[in-house]
Structure formats: C-alpha cells, structure tokens
C-alpha cells in the first residue's frame, strides 16, 4: 500500500484545506528537528552514526509511534496532528478512545479534557459541562471540567481542537483557553483542529498506510453508564476495527487497566495477542522499577496471563551506571520473560536543560540539553530493546529508526 496515498477518508478536509487531501509518499519529511538535535550532540560514536545518515530518505517505521499525532505543535488527536505524524514517518498512530453521552467512541486523551483540548468553553455547549468555568480568585485557581460524556456525538463534531493547555490564573474564559507553553505553538490552531471519531481515525490512518494503537481510556463517569459496561466499552472498540476490515495483526490495543487487557485476551484472542498493558505501577507507594519485591506482578506472571506487550514510561526502563544510561531491572526481567516493550513519551518534556522532568527522572543526572533525546532513544533501543517509542514529534524517532535499520 502506498504510504500517504490519496483517500476519500480525507474528504472532510477538502473544502477548507485541500492541500491535506493531496498527500503522496513524496510528502514524507524529517523537517529540521533531528538535525538540530544532532548538531548539538557531544562528539562521539552516536553523533557520528546519526550524522552519517543525513542524506537518507524518510521511510515509515513501526518503531516510530505518533503519540496523539504530533502534539508538540499540533492540537492532539486532530486530523491535522495525525497527518503531521504520518508525514514524519510514524508507522503507528494513536487514538485514545473515550465515549460521548450517546455512547459513541471518539479520540480524546481523557473523557474529561474537552475544556483544555477544544473550544467548548467558548461555545454554547459550555452549559452542558460537568463544571463550567470558574475564574481565578485569590489563592483559588481557575477551573472547569467538560467531559465527552456531557455531549452527544453530533455536538462533539461541532467543536474544534486546540493545544492542550489552560491558564489557571485566568479570570476570563478567553485567557483560560490561552495557556500554551512557550516551547509549543498556536501557529497551527488558528482555524482549529478537526476532531475525530474513532471510526474516522481508523479510516484516516488506513489511508496513510499506518497501523493502529488505540488506548481505551478510563471513564470519568461511573460504569455501567446508562447500561454501557466496561466490557461493552472494550468490545465496542475492537468491533470498530473488525467492521472496518482491519486485521488484528495491525492493531495494538492499549489499556492501563490490566482487567481490560485480560478481557481482550479472553474475548478477542487475535487482538489480545497484541494488546498492550500500559504500566502505571509507579502510583503504588514504595514501588521501584529496580526492586522486584515492590512489583504487584512479576514479568513472568504477566506473561503467564497472556500479556505479550508492556508499555512502561521511559524512566521505568532506564537507570544509570556512572554516566551511562542502561536498562533497569524491570527492563531486564521483561526481556527475560519474553515480553515485548513499548515506551512513552519522547519529546513531551520540552527543553531538557532542567533534567527533563517526570519522563527522565531515573536518569536526570545526565540530562542537560535537548540533544540528550537521542542519547535516551539510543539507550531505549540498544540497552532496553524496545520495539516502539511514542513521541510527540515523531520525526526524531523515525530518523533514528531509519538510520539504525530498525
């Protein structure tokens, strides 16, 4: 299948942005960022290897996963964000799946994020929100909560996407919505991003030649919701791939809920074989990726449950030996148990001069400039042996994968 071929699935953009509906393999590009990072690397074998690939052609890679598309600069989970990720060679694209009031599946990172990721507060649908806008006052921060389950699918489709941000010091809705970090941009949100249903994401990603990694998000509402159970929800997501004729081998369904993963393994074994358990054990008091005694499940136990893929955050997979970034105990035991490892999220932290923040906490002592993104990526690939990396700007991962033959 030709990557990024013309498709009727892109017709919804043809009226306002016809350029997006005319994409071919020639549209693939790294852009300047990988080269910007390489230029700033310390001299050494990795820099030399990456620099030697500067003339290579862009090839789509399954190692490169678009995390909500390319949300470093595009509104997450919009059509435009995913087009950007596909153009950067992301071979797998993500739709985080939640549901509307009428129980239809849509792409949102959380069921309750419409107030920070869309223009809902500036529309009449703000009246439907679980909690409307409250301005900052004294020590109290500005707040709002708008859920996909507060509105119908038809209402959801009237919204436009924006960069995920809010200014909690704001006293007006307009100021609250204008909170984009300085190292991101609102340049590509002037006309708003096109929101996607889950089925629309399937057709769009298919038209790019990309594969799929949907994440079933934990509901903000009590389940069952109007008779809609967690099993119904998990099954509906898989059913939409089956209805679209997508083979199970092209889908990596994800969940932080181990019971959901086990449901897929039992109820849909073909899809369950590639179901990804997103690990959030770091929320357990006393947990350490370096100490198996603190783990709720060993890697062997997960494998015995039928889990074949795990996806911990990057810091759980890495540690330091002196100044060298190496695999953590969790990573070593996962590999020994035969588990395949995916990780998240590269290029989400912004500038790395401060140690990289949450995603780099286990190796922060050697993180001090943006070029360290490549050092961490190399350790994940060579030391941890990950099979895929989520990124907010996929071209960096695609460039590395192409250069290293992954």
* CB 111 within 8 Å of CB 104: no
Which helix or strand (DSSP H or E) is residue 353 part of?
none
CB-facing half-sphere around the CA of 314: CA atoms within 13 A: 27
Are both 25 and 123 inside the same structural domain? no
- The separation between CA 205 and the C-alpha centre of its own chain, rounded to angstroms, equals 14
Residue 112 in domain: yes
Verify that 126 and 245 share a domain, yes or no. Answer: no
Which string of b and e fits 230-269 if b means at least 16 CB within 10 Å?
Answer: bebbbebbbebbeeeebebebbbbbbbbbebbbbbbeebe
From 130, 160, 189, give the residue that closes a domain. 189
**Are 294 and 161 within one domain?**
no
224/342 same-domain check: yes
Residue position matching structure tokens 């086990």 = 262
Residues 6+ apart with CB under 8 A from 335: 327, 341, 384, 385
The helix/strand/coil state of 341 is strand
257, part of any domain: yes
Distances in whole angstroms, Cα of residue 161 to Cα of each of 81, 188, 378: 10, 10, 33
Q: How many whole angstroms separate alpha carbon 254 and alpha carbon 102?
A: 23
Question: Residue 385 is encoded by which pair of tokens?
Answer: 């042996």
Joined tokens for residue 175? 């100021």
Other C-beta atoms closer than 10 Å to the C-beta of 157 total 17
CA atoms within 13 A on the CB side of 134: 12
Could you tell me if residue 48 is inside a domain?
Answer: yes
What is the CB neighbour count within 10 angstroms for residue 336?
A: 11
**pLDDT tens digits for the chain (406 residues)?**
343 433 333 444 333 333 333 445 678 999 999 999 999 999 999 999 999 999 999 999 999 999 999 999 999 999 999 999 999 999 999 999 999 999 999 999 999 999 999 999 999 999 999 999 999 999 999 999 999 999 999 999 999 999 999 999 999 999 999 999 999 999 999 989 999 999 999 999 999 999 999 999 999 999 999 999 999 999 999 999 999 999 999 999 999 999 999 999 999 999 999 999 999 999 999 999 999 999 999 999 999 999 999 999 999 999 999 999 999 999 999 999 999 999 999 999 999 998 999 999 999 999 999 999 999 999 999 999 999 999 999 999 999 999 999 9
Q: Is there a single domain that holds both residue 177 and residue 114?
A: yes
Residue with tokens 């035969």: 338
Residues 283 and 331 in one domain: yes
- pTM to 2 decimals? 0.94
Q: Which two tokens stand for residue 143?
A: 């707040």
Q: Give domain status of residue 284, yes or no.
A: yes
CA distance 247 to 270: 9
From 162, 189, 216, the end of a domain falls on: 189
Q: Is 204 helix (H, G, I), strand (E, B) or coil?
A: helix
Judge if the upstream peptide bond of residue 224 is cis by omega within 30 degrees of 0: yes
pLDDT at 373: 98
The answer to whether residues 185 and 204 belong to one domain is: no
End-to-end CA distance of the chain: 20
- Do 160 and 209 share a structural domain? no
Q: Are 359 and 313 in contact (CB under 8 A)?
A: yes
* Structural domain contains residue 3: no
Co-location of 76 and 221 in the same domain:
yes
Residues 176, 118 share a domain? yes
User: Is residue 1 included in any domain, yes or no?
Assistant: no
Has residue 87 been placed in a domain? yes
For residue 2, being part of any structural domain is answered with no
- Considering the domain architecture, whether residues 155 and 207 belong to the same structural domain is answered as no
Residue after which a domain boundary falls, among 189, 223, 246: 189
pLDDT score, position 24: 58
Tell me which residue range forms the domain holding 208. Answer: 8-95+196-404
Confidence at residue 26, expressed as pLDDT on a 0 to 100 scale? 73
CATH (domain of 399): 3.20.20.190
* Cα–Cα distance measured from residue 313 to residue 306, given in angstroms and rounded to the nearest whole number: 21
Distance in angstroms (rounded) separating the CA atoms of residues 177 and 194: 17
Count of domains observed in the chain: 2
**28 and 140 in one domain?**
no
- Which of 39, 61, 42 lies closest to 51 in space, CA to CA? 39
């Amino acid at each position: 299948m030709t990557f990024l071929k013309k498709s009727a699935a892109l017709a919804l953009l043809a009226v306002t942005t016809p350029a997006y509906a005319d994409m071919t393999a020639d549209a693939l590009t790294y852009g300047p960022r990988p080269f910007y990072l390489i230029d700033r690397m310390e001299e050494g074998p990795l820099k030399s290897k990456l620099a030697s690939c500067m003339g290579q052609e862009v090839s789509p890679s399954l190692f490169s996963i678009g995390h909500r598309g390319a949300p470093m600069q595009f509104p997450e989970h919009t059509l435009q964000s995913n087009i950007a990720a596909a153009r950067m060679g992301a071979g797998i694209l993500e739709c985080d799946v939640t549901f509307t009031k009428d129980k239809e599946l849509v792409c949102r990172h959380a069921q309750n994020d419409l107030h920070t990721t869309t223009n809902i507060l500036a529309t009449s649908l703000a009246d439907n929100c679980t909690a409307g806008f409250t301005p900052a006052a004294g020590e109290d921060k500005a707040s709002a909560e708008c859920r996909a389950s507060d509105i119908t699918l038809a209402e959801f489709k009237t919204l436009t996407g924006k960069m995920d941000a809010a200014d909690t010091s704001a006293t007006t809705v307009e100021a609250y919505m204008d909170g984009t970090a300085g190292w991101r941009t609102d340049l590509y949100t002037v006309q708003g991003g096109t929101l996607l249903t889950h089925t629309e994401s399937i057709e769009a990603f298919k038209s790019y030649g990309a594969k799929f990694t949907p994440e079933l998000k934990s509901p903000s509402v009590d389940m069952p919701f109007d008779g809609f159970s967690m099993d119904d929800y998990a099954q509906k997501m898989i059913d939409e791939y089956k209805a679209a004729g997508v083979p199970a081998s092209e889908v990596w369904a994800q969940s932080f809920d181990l019971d959901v993963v086990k449901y897929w393994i039992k109820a849909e074994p073909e899809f369950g074989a590639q179901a990804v358990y997103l690990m959030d054990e770091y929320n357990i008091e006393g947990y350490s990726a370096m100490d198996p005694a603190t783990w709720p499940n060993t890697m062997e136990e997960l494998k015995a449950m039928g889990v074949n893929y795990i996806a911990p955050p990057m810091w759980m997979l890495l540690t330091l030996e002196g100044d060298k970034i190496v695999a953590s105990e969790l990573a070593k035991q996962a590999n020994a148990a035969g588990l395949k490892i995916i990780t998240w999220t590269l290029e989400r932290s912004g500038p790395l001069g401060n140690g990289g923040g949450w995603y780099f906490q286990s190796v922060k002592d050697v993180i001090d400039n943006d070029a360290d993104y490549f050092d961490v990526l190399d350790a994940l690939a060579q030391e941890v042996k990950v099979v895929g990396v989520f990124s907010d700007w996929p071209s960096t991962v695609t460039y590395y994968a192409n250069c290293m033959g992954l």
